[in-house]
């Protein structure tokens, strides 16, 4: 509920039926209108020569460059390279993060011995390790997968751990009362109770993993979307550079909505607000 509908207390009942849906459609329309207006102003400002085109190409040029990318083989090769690395790194991070997270969350001893270091590593800006990792693993896919993994694993791990720790003891007691024990306890109670937390961690991990991949490509190597973007900006082909940024915005947002969809599908019982509070 938004403030606008709460503030005027005496307005609540004056509303006529049907305004709700029409309201939603109106907001979408307004959003589209505003975005189009921004693009139009941008286009006009550049056309009028107020901003040099080499510096900030107009949206029409960016769109042309974007469409040109989509039919370019080189682009799809770069896409496959980057996404391949991200998927491998992220998959490793999910497996390690969830398994270690559950173990550490479940065992008080592990939580006490290992968790402080995990927290320390979690709060380290691990992007700073990128040069060392490239030094150790070279300029190929390995270093990029390692960076993706390293950046993605900690949010997944710590969120899972947080989830496993906060599984209500009364839930566990209830399960025991009904004869659930051993691995079944993990599978039927701990895992489902932790799943929403893990998914929230995966959401954050995916974004960070993508950062790792792109940073790896910036710092060394010859393939990938990050490399293409850097080259374009370096050669001052700003229309292609902006088109590449648009590509990354689309990839990032698609990935996040996909995970969001999974969250709703796999854990529809979960209340996002309680997870946000933790």
Partner 1 sequence: MALPDIRTPETTERSMTSADTDVGTPLIQVRDLAVHYSHRRTGGSLVAIEDVNLDVTDGEFVTVLGPSGCGKTTFMNVVAGLVAPSHGQVLVDGKPVTGPGPDRAVVFQDYALLPWRTVIDNVRFGLEMQPHLRGTGWRERVQEAIETVGLAGFEQSYPRELSGGMQQRVGLARAIVAEPRILLMDEPLGAVDALTREVMREEIERLITATGKTVLFITHSIEEAILLGDRIVVFKSHPGAVKEVLTTGIERPRSERSIQSDARFLELRDHLWEALRGEATAAATRSSS
Partner 2 sequence: MSTLLASGPGLRQRGPGAWLAGLSTRGKAAVIAVEVLVMLALWQLVVGVLGWINPVFVPPPLAIATGFGELVSTGALTANAPISVQAWLTGFAIAVVTAIPVGLLMGTSLPVDRVTSPIAWTIYATPSIAYQPLAKAWFGFGIGPVVFLVTISAVFPILLNVAAGMRTTSASLIRAGQVYGANRFQLYRSIYLPSTTPFLFAGLRQAVVLATIGMTVAELAGSATGMGALIIKASNTYQTDQAYAAIGIVVIWSVGMTRVITLVERLVAPWTRKGHS
Out of 7, 17, 178, 182, the only residue in the binding site for partner 1 (CB under 8 A) is 17
Determine, following the binding rule CB under 8 A, whether residue 16 of this chain makes contact with partner 1.
yes
Q: Which does 166 bind (CB under 5 to 8 A by kind): partner 2, partner 1, none?
A: partner 2
* Contact by Cβ (8 Å): 275, 200: yes
Residue 11 or 264: the one with the smaller Cβ distance to partner 1 is: 11
**Residue list 20-39, contact with partner 1 (CB under 8 A):** 20-21
**Residue list 52-81, contact with partner 2 (CB under 8 A):** 55
Determine, following the binding rule CB under 8 A, whether residue 179 of this chain makes contact with partner 1.
no
CA neighbor of 85 nearest in space, from 160, 155, 139: 139
- Rounded distance between C-alpha atoms, residue 238 and residue 153, angstroms: 34
CA neighbor of 204 nearest in space, from 254, 139, 259: 259
- Rounded distance between C-alpha atoms, residue 11 and residue 7, angstroms: 9
Token output for 207:
């974004």
Residue 14 or 179: the one with the smaller Cβ distance to partner 1 is: 14
Residue 65 or 134: the one with the smaller Cβ distance to partner 2 is: 134
**In this structure, how many other beta carbons lie within 10 angstroms of the beta carbon of residue 118?**
19
Q: What x-and-dash track marks residues 138-177 binding partner 2 by CB under 8 A? A: -----------------------xx-xxxxxx-xxx----
Q: Which does 11 bind (CB under 5 to 8 A by kind): partner 1, partner 2, none?
A: partner 1
CA angle 176, 156, 219 (to 5 degrees): 165
Binding residues for partner 1, per CB under 8 A? Answer: 9-21
């Amino acid at each position: 509920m938004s403030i606008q509908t709460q503030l005027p207390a005496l307005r609540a009942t004056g509303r006529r039926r049907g305004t709700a849906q029409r309201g939603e459609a109106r907001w979408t329309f307004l959003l589209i209108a505003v975005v189009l207006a921004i693009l139009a102003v941008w286009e006009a400002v550049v056309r009028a020569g107020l901003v040099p085109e080499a510096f900030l190409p107009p949206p029409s040029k960016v769109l042309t460059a974007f469409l040109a990318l989509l039919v370019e083989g080189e682009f799809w090769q770069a896409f496959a390279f980057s996404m391949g690395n991200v998927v491998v790194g992220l998959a490793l991070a999910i497996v390690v993060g969830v398994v270690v997270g559950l173990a550490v969350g479940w065992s008080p001893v592990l939580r006490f011995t290992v968790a402080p270091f995990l927290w320390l590593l979690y709060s380290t800006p691990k992007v700073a390790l990128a040069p060392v990792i490239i030094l150790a693993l070279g300029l190929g896919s390995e270093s990029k997968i390692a960076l993706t993994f390293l950046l993605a694993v900690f949010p997944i791990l710590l969120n899972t751990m947080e989830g496993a720790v906060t599984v209500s003891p009364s839930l566990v007691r209830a399960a025991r009362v009904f004869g659930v024990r051993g691995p079944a306890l993990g599978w039927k109670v701990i895992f489902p109770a932790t799943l929403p937390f893990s998914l929230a961690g995966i959401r954050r991990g995916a974004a960070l993993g993508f950062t790792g991949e792109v940073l790896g490509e910036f710092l060394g190597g010859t393939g990938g979307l990050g490399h293409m973007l850097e080259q374009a900006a370096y050669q001052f082909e700003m229309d292609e550079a902006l088109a590449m940024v648009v590509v990354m915005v689309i990839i990032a947002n698609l990935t996040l909505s996909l995970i969001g969809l999974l969250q709703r599908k796999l854990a529809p019982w979960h209340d996002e607000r309680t997870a946000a509070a933790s």
